[in-house]
Amino acid sequence: MKPLPTTGRLASRMKPSEQAALKQSLQSHAPTANWLAQTNELEIELGIGNGMAILNRAQNNPKASFLGCEIYLNGLEVVHQQLQKHPQPNLKICNQDARELLQTIPPASAARILMLFPDPWPKSKHHKRRLLQPELLQLIAQALRPQGEFWLVTDWPDYAFHTIALLQNAPHFAFPQTALAAAACKVKANAQSPINHQQTLGPHHLATPPTWWIPTKYQQKAAKVGRLPWFINSLKLG
């Protein structure tokens, strides 16, 4: 499978020997077929960054199962160090392409799949590099159980429009009846968007932060410069 061109750095600050050692050590935290078969309320995060957000959710919900992937090896070093000090049996992580990971997940087994602040690739010529594409959305649908949740959180209005457009054209997803996120950026974005607001950006298409949400480090940094998140939620039909 051709790697997704979604990141410019994979392990640029690490020596080859350090990369090899980390990859080897990460194997002890990777999901196995047996672990996947015994998961309870499985939540998958695609692109976990430094992994602290998914680690916090796993610590707060010990009865649920959590699985995260990250193609950027340096990011995984942070959560790996935490897991080495304080094992978290209900959390598994891997240095893997999101598409490859989803193909290993038993069909209709995930209760929730998340993408939190993916790289927006704001230039039009780079939109093809965005992680969320029809191919990935199809794999997400296969992994989710009926009425399973797909959440994408972004602080870039254009990525929100990109996500909503893909979900509207995806036969396996529907938007729940939820309230608008209290994101200040939505007002400005709505005014600038050429999209039909009534059909695309109605209150039932953008969700408020869910009860399980824990603000991320990236979110806190973005808020300081006035970029607030859009919480987009959709349900798998069935």
116 lies in some domain: yes
9 lies in some domain: no
Q: What is the pTM of this model?
A: 0.85
Give me the domain span that covers residue 110: 18-177
195 lies in some domain: no
222 lies in some domain: no
189 lies in some domain: no
Pairing of strands 110-116, 144-154: parallel
Q: Is 85 left (phi over 0), alpha (psi -120 to 50) or beta?
A: alpha
Q: How many CA atoms lie within 13 Å of 97's alpha carbon, on the beta-carbon side?
A: 12
pLDDT at 218: 87
Give the pLDDT confidence of 35-49 residue by residue, as tens digits: 999 998 999 999 999
CA distance linking residue 29 with residue 148, whole number of Å? 25
197 lies in some domain: no
- Domain count of the fold of the chain: 1
The DSSP code for 70 is -
Among 7-16, 61-70, 133-142, 222-231, name the one with the lowest average pLDDT.
7-16
Work out the average pLDDT over 109-133.
92
212 lies in some domain: no
Would you call 158 a catalytic residue per the annotation?
no
Which of 97, 119, 155, 158 is catalytic? The answer is 119
Q: Find the CATH number of the domain harbouring 166.
A: 3.40.50.150
227 lies in some domain: no
Give the pLDDT confidence of 124-137 residue by residue, as tens digits: 888 888 999 999 99
